[in-house]
Chain A
């Protein structure tokens, strides 16, 4: 039972982490709280549903497509709109993204309707036993993809020229411009990566759970918790935050019962913030 709980927690935590990472990235580099992130994930999910319905392909294959579509959307939206209020402070930028969120929801409602959508490939739910614990293949795959995405993003930011440029823009705007970095481009690129990641995670999410145009708001809360827990802007931190959250979910049910799950989660979150005011690995220069 304990082993099963740990595995459950890890598998759920992987998904939490990967959607938290995309949010944390934009926050860390640009100091923008992207309230549209949840709905971007939902948009990715809807794209997957549409492709599965029309082309009858495996949902995992649609991952690059929904990722790419959201990447382009993210780049455009950051370059044309969000950049225009970039210096306006966190209240203004978050309200702007909230406006974008409403527009996105309406677009989804107009194209599709308010119905719940989901995909259920034939292999969904297949599982194997390991030391008495049941492990579903799909969840494992989702976990794997999520972790690979997170780790490669971390590598990209740390070890490539573009990644370094993005980091530099986060640390000191003016200095970055002086050394010849086009910060508008690097900001747009950051936002695009985050949106693209959100789109890809939407694909993974919809394989596990059905979505409606309004599910974004529920996801947003998870995004917040994971990103803050790990330290805003810290990618490995978000991974840890997600896993901690997943494990907390599991063990609170085991020890106290389902109805206290969220109480434990939020209480734990507030306690962490009181004792570690910047999350696990928050750094000062971000934001």
Chain B
């Protein structure tokens, strides 16, 4: 029953139809949401998709490649500012600015990546963090970006529903594109190379994988989608300032979503984004005083009991030994 594909992984032919049906239904549902739900929910889901993109971005570089780019919000801010500057100062239409944001993020990440992707482990993590802070400070001190005063983008013309639907579909399509990209990588030689680098970089280079180009490629893909998300965000909000687009909390949130859903899986980060956003939505609308306590406790429990992510847990038979598996494997 278990066949193997080109890369030696098990596949089950029988599941294909069911899988495709479920997937199709969900996709259709996602596309029909704006017809059925009202403004707030459309906005909330668009927000979830945006975090889905960000989490997927982190997934490529950290989940697959093992390089913990904690400062990935850097490309989000960069994308947002490229769009904002082009649209306000040069009167460029949004689609062009959008494309320029992606290109800007890729050029920047590829350039700087060659320099700092040599750093190992936590030093790389800190370097990306410092890089995002540096970018924030540089943008704050430039005149063309309006400094700390921020920039007001041209208004999106149209009624409330049009605006919401536009950004809903934009975010949805971006997220799907990003996920499709990861799915392709996951099935290809590239994905194997990424995983080899994550597992043991020295061993990978002995096996004939030259790490630097692969690492740089991974970061560039990651930055491309993060930059796109930033660009869409800027146009969506209509006003950005450095404090909003370079905040560190979303950086940590992306990791949270990735780990919760399952790092290095195709759909995990998206599921994580959906879960986290909905839980925090519930937490602060119902239990305002205890919101951090609730989110923090969920986080601690996740790390303790489902260190491989929710996707790893769902669908398995629930037993006590499954419940404590995480602790048994990880405790010192």
Contacts and interface: CB of A to CB of B under 8 A. Distances in A.
- Asked if A and B touch directly (CB within 8 angstroms), the answer is yes
Contact of B330 (A87, A94, A228): A87
A96 B256 CA distance: 10
Q: Which of B127, B248, B290 counts the most chain A CB atoms within 10 A?
A: B127
Contact of A259 (B68, B125, B141, B289): B141
A273 B128 CA distance: 11
B62 interface: yes
B235 to A, nearest CB: 28
Interface range on chain B: under 10, 10 to 19, 20 to 34, or 35 or more? 35 or more
B141 A277 contact: no
Interface residues of A, number: 53
Contacts of A184: 332
A60 interface: no
Given A91-B68, A95-B303, A102 B141 contact: no
Given A95-B255, A100-B296, A269-B130, A277 B120 contact: yes
Contact of B127 (A84, A100, A101, A273): A273
A144 B159 CA distance: 63
A273 B307 contact: no
A130 interface: no
A1 to B, nearest CB: 24
B133 interface: yes
B41 interface: no
Contacts of A232: 122-123
Interface stretch (B28-36, B111-119, B167-175): B111-119
A4 interface: no
A263 interface: yes
A263 B331 contact: no
B321 to A, nearest CB: 16
A23 B296 CA distance: 21
Of A91, A262, A279, most buried by chain B (CB within 10 Å of CB) is A91
- Dominant secondary structure at the A interface: helix
B138 interface: yes
B201 interface: no
A94 B125 CA distance: 12
A277 B123 contact: yes
Contacts of B300: 81, 96, 99-100, 103
Contact of B327 (A84, A105, A225, A274): A84
A86 to B, nearest CB: 4
B134 interface: yes
Contact of B292 (A87, A95, A105): A105
Contact of A106 (B131, B259, B290, B326): B290
A80 B302 CA distance: 15
A142 interface: no
B126 interface: yes
Pick the most buried of A88, A217, A225, A262: most chain B CB atoms within 10 A of its CB: A88
A19 interface: no
B305 to A, nearest CB: 9
B308 to A, nearest CB: 10
Contacts of A100: 296, 300
B327 A98 contact: no
A87 B303 CA distance: 12
B3 interface: no
The listed residue with most B CB atoms (<10 A of its CB), out of A106, A187, A279, A287, is: A106
A204 interface: no
A99 B68 contact: no
B217 to A, nearest CB: 20
Interface of B: 62, 68, 115-116, 118-123, 125-127, 129-131, 133-134, 137-138, 140-141, 248-249, 252, 255-256, 259, 263, 289-293, 295-300, 302-304, 307, 326-327, 329-332
Interface of A: 27, 33, 35, 81, 83-88, 90-96, 98-103, 105-107, 109-110, 173, 183-184, 187, 217, 221, 224-225, 228, 232, 259-260, 262-263, 266-267, 269-270, 273-274, 277-279, 282, 287
25 contacts: A84-B330, A85-B304, A85-B307, A88-B330, A98-B256, A99-B299, A99-B300, A100-B300, A102-B296, A184-B332, A187-B332, A217-B249, A221-B133, A221-B248, A228-B126, A259-B140, A263-B137, A266-B133, A266-B134, A267-B134, A270-B130, A273-B126, A273-B130, A274-B115, A277-B120
In the complex, the 6 A-B pairs of residues with the closest C-beta atoms, listed nearest first: A102-B296, A99-B299, A86-B332, A266-B134, A106-B292, A103-B296
Given A85-B304, A102-B296, A106-B293, 9 more contacts: A86-B330, A86-B332, A94-B255, A217-B248, A221-B133, A266-B130, A269-B130, A273-B123, A274-B115
